[in-house]
C-alpha cells in the first residue's frame, strides 16, 4: 500500500509547474496545474476531515501527517491516541522515532565534514577502525551508498562473528550495547561481497558512519547533529536516542522500545512532522550543503540509492521502520512539494517481513482525497453546443 501511496503522490506532484526553491520555465507547453488553493481547500474540507477521521478511528491509526508546498503548509494534523485510551491525541507536534529516515541525517553529517575538508569519501574504513582489514577496500563512499559488503544488521552479524544460533535464546548477547563491541563486530565482518560491486541495504553501514562522525568531530553523534542540523534549521523538538518526549511505539498490541546504540546513525533520530519538514527544506534548498555536495548526496549509484536517500522518478524519499514506529519523508523537486508521515504503529515492512497494516489504508484514503485536486475539470458545454443537441 505504501508503494501505491508513493505512486499516487508522484503522479500528483508531476503536474505541478514550479521548481524547487525557484521558478522553472518549461520548454514544452505547460501541463494543467491545479490550484494550490484547491489543494488546501480539499485538505481542510470538513467532509474530508470527517471521512479521514472515521477511517482512522475504524483502523486504529496512530500518527501525524504534513503536506507542504515550499514555505506554505497545506495540511498538518494527527490521528489516534499517542498511547492509551486516556492519553492525549496525536497532533502535528507529536514527537516520533523516525527509524531509517535517520540515515538522511547521518549522510548529511558526513558530507558536512567532507565539505569542510575534514574527511574524504575515498577514505578507507581502516583509517578510522584500525582493526578493520585495509585490503578489504571499504570506503566511506561504499558505506554511504550501501555497497560495502557489510552484513545487514548486528543481529545477523553476531551469529557470524560470535557463533550465536538463536537470537531469542541468546537475548542481550546478540543485542550488544557497548560501542566497542559494535566496532569489534564491524572489524570482524567477513563481508558478503566485494565492496563497490553491488547494492545491499545495511544498517551497519550507517552506524559505522556515525562512529566516524564522532571520531572526526570529537563530539557525540547526537551533539554533532544538534549543533549542525537541528539548531540551524530550528528543529526545536528533534532529538536522538529516544528522549522522553518521544511517544511510546506500538506493535502487535505491545509497547516497544529499541536499543538506541544498535541503531545509532541508522535509526535513532526523533522529531515531529514539523521538525522533519524543516529538515527537508534545509536539505533540499541549500541550507545544509552547497550545490556540489547536495549533488553528491542525491546522486544514485548501483540502483536508486543515494546517500541516505532514495531517488525515485520525480521524487526523493526514504522510509523508516522500527518496532512500534514507522515514517515516510519525501520531496518532489518539480512541485516543491514535501510529504512527511510519522506513526507510532509499526505498519508495513518494505522487505516483506510484515503484511500491510491498517495505517496503509489510512494513507491511501488521504492521498486519494488529495488526488482529486489534480484532476482537470471537464470542459463546460458552450451555449451553442447545448442548442445543437
Sorted by where each begins, the domain ranges of the chain are 2-101+112-118+220-374
Q: Specify the pLDDT at position 26.
A: 42
Strands 269-271 vs 63-69: parallel, antiparallel or unpaired: unpaired
Q: Specify the pLDDT at position 352.
A: 35
Q: Among the listed ranges 89-93, 196-200, 243-247, 355-359, which one has the minimum average pLDDT value?
A: 355-359
CB under 8 Å to 341, separation ≥6 — which residues?
63, 64, 65, 66, 273, 327, 328, 329, 363
CB under 8 Å to 242, separation ≥6 — which residues?
97, 257, 258, 260, 268, 270
More confident residue, 379 or 128: 128
Among candidates 100, 40, 101, which has minimal Cα distance to 67?
A: 40
Helix %, strand %, coil % of the chain (to 5): 40, 15, 45
Residue 278 C-alpha from the chain's centroid: 13
Decide: 60 and 50 in contact? Cβ < 8 Å.
no
The count of other CB atoms within 10 Å of the CB of residue 128 is: 18
More confident residue, 120 or 384: 120
Among candidates 108, 126, 124, 121, which has minimal Cα distance to 265?
A: 108
Q: Measured between alpha carbons, how far is 133 from 125 in angstroms, rounded to an integer?
A: 8
Q: Among the listed ranges 158-162, 170-174, 244-248, 363-367, which one has the minimum average pLDDT value?
A: 170-174
pTM, two decimal places: 0.79
Among candidates 311, 280, 335, 300, which has minimal Cα distance to 11?
A: 335
pLDDT classification of 154: cutoffs 50, 70, 90: confident
Instruction: Indicate whether 184 pLDDT > 80.
Output: yes
Q: Measured between alpha carbons, how far is 320 from 57 in angstroms, rounded to an integer?
A: 23
pLDDT classification of 247: cutoffs 50, 70, 90: confident
Give tens-digit pLDDT for 212-231: 999 999 999 999 999 999 99
Decide: 185 and 269 in contact? Cβ < 8 Å.
no
**Stretch 282-301: mean pLDDT, rounded?**
97
More confident residue, 355 or 104: 104
pLDDT classification of 298: cutoffs 50, 70, 90: very high
Q: Specify the pLDDT at position 56.
A: 62
Q: Three cell numbers at 254?
A: 505491545
Q: Specify the pLDDT at position 102.
A: 96
Q: Three cell numbers at 205?
A: 553501514
Decide: 337 and 34 in contact? Cβ < 8 Å.
no
Decide: residue 225, CB within 10 A, 0-12 exposed, 13-18 middle, 19+ buried.
buried
Distances (CA, A) of 33 to 7, 15, 43, 375, 381: 18, 6, 17, 9, 21
Q: Specify the pLDDT at position 369.
A: 56
**Stretch 110-130: mean pLDDT, rounded?**
98
Please tell me the CATH code under which domain 2-101+112-118+220-374 is placed. Answer: 3.40.710.10
Strand ranges (E), 272-378: 310-311, 316-322, 325-332, 337-343
**Stretch 221-248: mean pLDDT, rounded?**
92
Provide the greatest CA pair distance for the chain. 86
Among candidates 306, 324, 218, which has minimal Cα distance to 267?
A: 324
pLDDT classification of 200: cutoffs 50, 70, 90: very high
Locate cell 546513525: which residue? 265
Q: Specify the pLDDT at position 43.
A: 58
pLDDT classification of 376: cutoffs 50, 70, 90: very low
Q: Specify the pLDDT at position 67.
A: 81
The whole-chain average pLDDT of the chain stands at 77
Q: Among the listed ranges 106-110, 145-149, 324-328, 348-352, which one has the minimum average pLDDT value?
A: 348-352
Length of the chain, in residues: 389
Task: Decide: helix, strand or coil at residue 62.
Answer: coil
Q: Measured between alpha carbons, how far is 171 from 294 in angstroms, rounded to an integer?
A: 41
More confident residue, 252 or 70: 70
Instruction: Indicate whether 131 pLDDT > 70.
Output: yes
Amino acid at each position: 500500500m505504501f508503494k501505491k501511496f508513493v505512486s499516487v503522490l508522484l503522479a500528483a506532484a508531476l503536474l505541478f509547474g514550479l521548481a524547487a526553491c525557484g521558478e522553472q520555465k518549461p520548454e514544452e507547453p505547460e501541463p494543467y496545474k491545479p490550484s494550490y488553493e484547491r489543494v488546501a481547500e480539499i485538505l481542510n474540507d470538513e467532509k474530508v476531515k470527517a471521512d479521514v477521521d472515521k477511517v482512522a478511528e475504524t483502523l486504529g491509526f496512530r500518527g501525524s501527517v504534513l503536506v507542504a508546498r515550499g514555505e506554505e503548509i497545506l495540511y498538518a494534523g494527527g490521528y489516534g491516541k499517542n498511547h492509551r485510551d486516556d492519553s492525549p491525541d496525536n497532533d502535528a507536534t507529536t514527537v516520533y522515532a523516525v527509524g531509517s529516515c535517520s540515515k538522511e541525517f547521518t549522510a548529511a553529517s558526513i558530507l558536512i565534514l567532507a565539505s569542510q575538508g575534514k574527511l574524504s569519501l575515498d577514505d578507507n574504513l581502516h583509517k578510522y577502525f584500525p582493526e578493520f582489514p585495509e585490503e578489504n577496500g571499504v570506503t566511506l563512499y561504499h558505506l554511504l551508498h550501501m555497497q560495502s559488503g557489510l552484513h545487514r544488521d548486528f543481529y545477523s552479524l553476531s551469529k557470524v562473528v560470535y557463533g550465536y544460533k538463536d537470537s531469542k535464546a541468546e537475548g542481550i548477547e546478540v543485542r550488544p550495547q557497548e560501542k566497542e563491541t559494535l566496532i569489534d563486530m564491524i572489524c570482524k565482518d567477513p563481508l558478503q561481497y566485494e565492496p563497490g560491486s553491488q547494492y545491499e541495504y545495511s544498517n551497519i553501514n550507517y552506524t559505522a558512519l556515525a562512529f566516524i562522525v564522532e571520531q572526526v568531530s570529537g563530539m557525540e553523534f547526537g551533539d554533532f547533529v544538534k549543533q549542525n542540523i537541528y539548531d540551524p534549521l530550528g528543529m526545536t523538538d528533534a532529538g536522538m536516542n529516544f528522549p522522553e518526549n518521544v511517544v511510546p511505539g506500538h506493535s502487535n498490541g505491545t509497547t516497544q522500545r529499541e536499543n538506541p546504540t544498535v541503531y545509532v546513525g541508522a535509526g535513532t533520530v526523533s522529531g515531529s512532522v514539523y521538525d522533519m519538514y524543516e529538515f527537508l527544506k534545509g536539505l533540499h534548498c541549500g541550507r545544509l550543503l552547497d550545490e556540489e555536495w547536495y549533488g553528491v548526496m542525491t546522486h544514485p549509484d548501483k540502483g536508486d540509492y543515494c546517500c541516505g536517500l532514495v531517488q525515485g522518478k520525480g521524487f526523493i524519499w526514504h522510509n523508516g521502520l522500527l518496532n512500534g514506529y514507522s515514517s515516510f519523508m519525501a520531496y518532489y523537486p518539480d512541485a516543491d512539494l514535501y510529504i512527511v508521515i510519522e506513526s507510532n504503529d509499526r505498519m508495513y515492512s518494505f522487505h516483506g517481513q510484515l503484511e500491510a497494516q491498517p495505517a496503509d489504508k489510512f494513507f491511501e484514503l488521504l492521498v486519494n482525497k488529495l488526488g482529486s485536486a489534480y484532476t482537470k475539470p471537464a470542459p463546460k458545454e458552450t451555449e451553442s453546443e447545448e442548442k445543437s443537441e
